Amino acid sequence: MAKIIAGVATSHVPAIGAALDLGKTQEPYWQRVFAGYEESKKWIEKVKPDVCIVVFNDHATAFSMDIVPTFALGCAAEFEPADEGWGPRPVPTVHGHPELAAHIAQSVITDEFDLTIVNKMEVDHGLTVPLSLMFGQPKEWPCKIIPLAVNVVLFPPPSGNRCFNLGKAIRKAVESFPEDLRVVVFGTGGMSHQISGPRAGLINSDFDKAFLDGMVNDPKKLTAIKHVDYMREAGAEGIEMVMWLIMRGALDEKVHERYRFYTVPASNTAVGHLILENQELAAAAE
Amino acid sequence: MQPTKKEYSDIPGTIVFDADQARMGYGINMFCMSLLKDENRKAFKADEAGYLKAYKLTPEQTEAVLKRQWNRMLELGGNIYFTAKLGATDGLSFQQMAAMMTGVTQQEYADMMLAGGRSPNGNRSKSEWKK
């Protein structure tokens, strides 16, 4: 049977992708960011997931104001990197896992999570930057990727609690898929940042650090954070952090914190990163 | 009909892109979306006012776009991820746009970020900005 072995949380700042693509990783400013992912690259190479479910948000790339799905699951075989106005990122095509994705869709919709099925979607930095941070710059991504796009652009996004419970439903779906697959769930976006309006540049490290702690030890508490509080405390765009709770909901109640990294800033944003292992993987690593 | 009071309207310097804003800003945002295509960027640059006519903007919205009034565009229903495409068409980075929206130079903005960003203290409520 398929199983979820771990979760990865990471910011998906577009400037990180640009720094990588333009060969700026050795500049001191960027070295500070990329150094924080060296351990993570070794970790994921070792645990070798067969599939990663990547929870991300589209930034007015695949979805304009014509259609705004709250949850959209990528069920296609391939997803091309999008041109966000500067040409597509020079990263490999993302290969999906249509069978598992269709199974997840069927299972969670039956469990009353009415998500949208997407068979055609170009993927922007929200998805490709986390892949680059975790896998580096390979010719092909080393595993299958199922994109799950969450609306956090048009207010209101889904609540943290809804996200957490969707994570639980996704876990149930994965665990009822008959093929033996090792699955890692990525929750991306955040941490504190505001890129719009006169208050742009807001960073709240206290909020972020408490959020990182909560992700490990007390995610239930995080599910109660109201949208207005995310926006007031962590910036209008800091609300992206609800996406991390989908990942957390898909994990064991008690997880092992394998790795944590936090730095300010990358461009306009606080960068946060966690690797959380389910009990079984953590026990195997001891 | 009275507009509903929104609990997030007290956050200073922040325009929350909700359903009301989105309805108002559909034209601005779809215009910006069109700039993802290179041929459209060229056509817009060649005749900005003429290009905008296809998007049913109000006179205020048209003026905000033509004058690159970034905050005004947000007030009139634009969303930052869309207006950033106009910024990109002008060759601006996100950080340059952020500096313009906050009324400081790019260097001042970059220095603020390097120093840890804008603190939430004093920036949680409109009442704190009036002092």
ipTM value of the model? 0.95
Question: Is the pTM higher than 0.95?
Answer: yes
Q: List, run by run, the mean pLDDT of 10-residue segments along chain A (286 residues).
A: 97 94 94 97 98 98 97 98 89 98 98 97 97 98 98 98 98 98 98 97 98 98 98 98 98 98 96 98 88
Residues B130 and B105 in one domain: yes
pLDDT band for position B1 (50/70/90)? low
**Nearest residue, CB atoms, A154 vs list B12, B22, B97:** B22
Q: What is the pLDDT of residue A84?
A: 87
Q: Is residue B106 part of a domain?
A: yes
When scoring B4, B6, B10, B16 by the number of chain A Cβ atoms within 10 A, the one with the most, hence best to mutate, is B16
Contact A267 B94 (CB under 8 A): yes
More confident residue, B1 or A90: A90
Residues B19 and B57 in one domain: yes
**Nearest residue, CB atoms, B118 vs list A59, A153, A199:** A199
Q: Give CA B83 to chain center in angstroms.
A: 5
Six token digits for residue A268: 């306009």
Residues B105 and B125 in one domain: yes
Six token digits for residue A156: 């209101």
Residue B7 has pLDDT above 70, yes or no: yes
Determine the Cα angle at A278 with ends A93 and A281, to 5°: 85
First-to-last alpha carbon distance for chain B, in angstroms, is: 33
Q: What is the pLDDT of residue B3?
A: 64
Q: Is residue B76 part of a domain?
A: yes
Q: What is the pLDDT of residue A281?
A: 95
Q: How many A/B residue pairs have CB atoms within 8 Å?
A: 140
Q: How many CA atoms lie within 13 A of B123 on its CB side?
A: 23
- Between CA A181 and CA A160 the distance in angstroms is 28
Q: Is residue B4 part of a domain?
A: no
Q: Is residue B63 part of a domain?
A: yes
Residues B77 and B130 in one domain: no
Q: Please indicate whether residue A256 is annotated as part of the active site.
A: no
Q: What is the pLDDT of residue A213?
A: 98
Residues B78 and B111 in one domain: no
Residues B52 and B25 in one domain: yes
Residues spanned by the domain of B108: 93-131
What is the average per-residue pLDDT within B28-35?
97
Nearest to A216 by CA among A183, A177, A176, A259: A259
Q: What is the pLDDT of residue A165?
A: 98
Q: Please indicate whether residue A125 is annotated as part of the active site.
A: yes
Residues B63 and B112 in one domain: no
Q: Is residue B79 part of a domain?
A: yes
Domain count along chain B: 2
Residue B46 has pLDDT above 80, yes or no: yes
Q: What is the pLDDT of residue B2?
A: 63
**Nearest residue, CB atoms, B101 vs list A83, A156, A197:** A197
Contact B36 A200 (CB under 8 A): no
- Between CA A213 and CA A274 the distance in angstroms is 10
Residues B101 and B122 in one domain: yes
pLDDT band for position B122 (50/70/90)? very high
Contact B81 A268 (CB under 8 A): no
The whole-angstrom distance between B120's CA and the closest CA on chain A is 6
Residue of chain A whose Cα is closest to the Cα of B18? A155
Residue B19 has pLDDT above 90, yes or no: yes
Six token digits for residue A210: 């408490």
The whole-angstrom distance between B69's CA and the closest CA on chain A is 11
Residues B51 and B80 in one domain: yes
Q: What is the CATH number of the domain that holds B70?
A: 1.10.700.10
The whole-angstrom distance between A29's CA and the closest CA on chain B is 9
Q: What is the pLDDT of residues B71-88, one digit of tens each?
A: 999 999 999 999 999 999
Instruction: Write the Ramachandran bin of A231: left for phi over 0, alpha for psi from -120 to 50, otherwise beta.
Output: alpha
Question: Is B37 within 8 Å of B51 (Cβ atoms)?
Answer: no
Q: Is residue B3 part of a domain?
A: no
When scoring A196, A204, A205, A239 by the number of chain B Cβ atoms within 10 A, the one with the most, hence best to mutate, is A196
Residues B117 and B88 in one domain: no
A89: which strand partners? none
Please tell me the CATH superfamily of domain A3-285, with its number. LigB-like (3.40.830.10)
Residues B25 and B56 in one domain: yes
pLDDT band for position B93 (50/70/90)? confident
pLDDT band for position B94 (50/70/90)? confident
Q: What is the pLDDT of residue A285?
A: 79
Residues B32 and B75 in one domain: yes
β pairing state of A3-10 and A269-277: antiparallel
